[in-house]
Structure 1
Amino acid sequence: MTRFTKGHGTENDFVLVPDPDGTIELTPAQVQRLADRRAGIGGDGVIRVMPTRHATEDLVRAQAGEAEWFMDYRNADGSVAEMCGNGTRVFASYLVREGLARGERFDIATRAGVKHVRIVPEGFAVDLGPWRYGDEQGARRDGFDIMVRPRHGKPVPALTLDLGNPHAVVMLPEAIELENLDLTAPPEVQPEQPHGINVEFVRAVGPSHIAMRVHERGVGETRSCGTGAAAAALATRFWSGEEDLKPWRVDVPGGTLTVTPLPGNRVELAGPAELVADGEFAL
């Protein structure tokens, strides 16, 4: 039997599997079973909690001097992912509860580099690290660099950003209501992205305040996406023409997140994280 903990961040939910000895090998089929909402535990992703020194990937193991614990993240379809914004807060909450992280600030190793975490009143704030536009030259010339077609809709322009994982952000035209989008299938993206891409659909609510829905690669629509919220806020800031460091409120179906641009093209994500269940599961 394998131990697990179930947690969520703004209802973006995960199954955490502790692996203190670095001996558990999660296959895609096992991840799919764990994430299955009818035959398994259920979640948008699966996170193996393991010492960074035991990581098999050189890029991750090199982070061991800075971050003791590695967030080995898998999408619900079993595919390996670089990291997950909401998942980092749930991972941080688990480390704190288990006494594996000490103090108000600590670091987490991911495939997208070390993430710096601090405890805040609403839960945890995570420095997601450096980000960049997918095609900054094209974006500044045209305002977008890719086209996205929602299911049963027409193609609309989008802006791509890389936050350790890839995102395409769409500011919806007035004729399309956010709540009416059909996200039961992946939006069509042109040019096609060989490794997939997360797609965020955004509606402006007020100054530095947006609402968002997201279709995540390898998962489908989720109640929240942390890096997606950051990408959506950064894209909207870009389109506003005021690229300052004011915090942004991002409303997602599962709650509210705060995105704060940082100097040096970094960005911080803050929000709640809850651990809701513990148990054992037969892999």
Structure 2
Amino acid sequence: MADMPADSRSLRFTKGHGTENDFVVLADLDARLDLDADLTRRLADRHAGIGGDGVIRVVPTASADEESVRALADRAPWFMDYRNADGSVAEMCGNGTRVFATFLRREGIETADEFQIATRAGLKGIRFEGDLVATNMGRWRLVDEDRARADGFDSLVHVTGHSDPWSALSVDMSNPHTVVALPEGVDLDALDLLHAPVVRPVPPHGTNVELVRILGPAHIAMRVHERGVGETRSCGTGVCAAALATSFWAGDPEPTRDWTVDVPGGRLRVRALPGHEVELAGPAALVADGEVDLSTL
């Protein structure tokens, strides 16, 4: 069990990833760990810490800090307390839900093929499907639907190395996303995402930015710059946002088919669900367990 040992100078952890979107997982089953921004940054540091795109704390829902999360305890006993690598608190993480659920199953905390977990973005339904884990990501919406339907976009994105901004569409997945369909002639693999793309108008709470290349019917490739992290190998909510935005541009505002999305870390499936909800399915892996000496971070 990857929880806190008696020696508070050290901390047990599990390292996992979903299509190479990687996380440090901490089992805090007694809700004793104070996971603040500084500790999160130190754990996620790829040079001096364990390294990861974020940190996931496994904690009883009834012990969550937020009253809105605690209210979910009767339907989902475990809360995915997710923090970005920079220490900022995040609503949820799509790839992280699969890693979280896989950890619960490995540890025998959850044994069913289907169950719910609690996040700051509400309940998320989990279903194990062979080698894949599917997450009901909940409802999605276009941020400025009137403008999107009139113009096909609602914002502009400027990427380093390109003088002209590109039109983009904002999608709310309970966290913010800005999706760009790349113009012909722009090489997705060659884009400079070391620097955060500049989005206008500036989103009030920041945004993840997805750059998309259409490969074929219901098939796209994507790279993403995540707020609070930088470029990652995959982003679950971003994959959903990218598929939904591309479907909208294709004239299907109510998606009815599965989408295949290729990211640098692998391949994911996006499936539209009734009620304007969406499901994400893909692999998850737990690759290591260990113990870190906190005094060395």
> Is the TM-score greater than 0.5?
yes
Q: Which amino acid aligns with 1:228?
A: G
SS at match of 2:50: coil
CA contact (8 A) 2:181 2:213 kept: yes
The structural deviation recorded for 1:3 is 1.0
**Is the counterpart of residue 202 in structure 1 residue 212 in structure 2?**
yes
**Is the counterpart of residue 116 in structure 1 residue 125 in structure 2?**
yes
How much identity, in percent, do the aligned residues show? 62
**Is the counterpart of residue 21 in structure 1 residue 33 in structure 2?**
no
The structural deviation recorded for 1:14 is 0.1
**Is the counterpart of residue 167 in structure 1 residue 165 in structure 2?**
no
**Is the counterpart of residue 211 in structure 1 residue 221 in structure 2?**
yes
* CA distance in 2 between partners of 1:244 and 1:280 (Å): 45
Q: How many residues align?
A: 283
TM-score, length basis structure 2: 0.94
The structural deviation recorded for 1:282 is 2.6
**Is the counterpart of residue 52 in structure 1 residue 66 in structure 2?**
no
CA contact (8 A) 1:122 1:270 kept: no
The structural deviation recorded for 1:122 is 3.1
The structural deviation recorded for 1:244 is 3.2
Partner of 2:5: none
Structure 1 runs, 4 residues or longer, greater than 3 Å off:
none
* CA distance in 2 between partners of 1:39 and 1:9 (Å): 23
* CA distance in 1 between partners of 2:124 and 2:293 (Å): 31
**Is the counterpart of residue 157 in structure 1 residue 167 in structure 2?**
yes
Partner of 2:156: 147
Partner of 1:83: 92
* CA distance in 1 between partners of 2:172 and 2:111 (Å): 30
CA contact (8 A) 2:244 2:255 kept: no
Question: For 1:42-98, what per-residue CA distance to the aligned partner results, in whole angstroms no more than 9, with x for missing partners?
Answer: 000000000001111001100101101000000000000000000000000000000
CA contact (8 A) 1:35 1:44 kept: yes
Partner of 2:3: none
RMSD between superposed Cα atoms in Å: 0.8
Partner of 2:136: 127
The structural deviation recorded for 1:281 is 1.4
SS at match of 1:119: strand
CA contact (8 A) 1:4 1:16 kept: yes
Q: Which amino acid aligns with 1:229?
A: V
* CA distance in 1 between partners of 2:30 and 2:132 (Å): 28
* CA distance in 2 between partners of 1:269 and 1:278 (Å): 26
CA contact (8 A) 1:200 1:215 kept: yes
CA contact (8 A) 1:167 1:199 kept: yes
CA contact (8 A) 1:74 1:81 kept: yes
* CA distance in 2 between partners of 1:108 and 1:146 (Å): 33
SS at match of 2:122: coil
Q: Which amino acid aligns with 2:181?
A: M
CA contact (8 A) 2:206 2:227 kept: yes
Listed as ranges, the gaps of 5+ residues in structure 2 are 1-9
The structural deviation recorded for 1:175 is 2.5
**Is the counterpart of residue 6 in structure 1 residue 28 in structure 2?**
no
CA contact (8 A) 1:213 1:252 kept: yes
SS at match of 1:109: strand
TM-score, length basis structure 1: 0.99
Partner of 2:267: 256
CA contact (8 A) 1:10 1:273 kept: yes
Aligned pairs for 1:84-103 (under 5 A) are 84-103=93-112
The structural deviation recorded for 1:100 is 0.8
* CA distance in 1 between partners of 2:53 and 2:27 (Å): 17
Partner of 2:6: none
* CA distance in 1 between partners of 2:43 and 2:262 (Å): 28
**Is the counterpart of residue 246 in structure 1 residue 246 in structure 2?**
no
**Is the counterpart of residue 74 in structure 1 residue 83 in structure 2?**
yes
Listed as ranges, the gaps of 5+ residues in structure 1 are none
* CA distance in 1 between partners of 2:275 and 2:131 (Å): 25
CA contact (8 A) 1:214 1:225 kept: yes
Q: Which amino acid aligns with 2:21?
A: N
SS at match of 2:192: coil
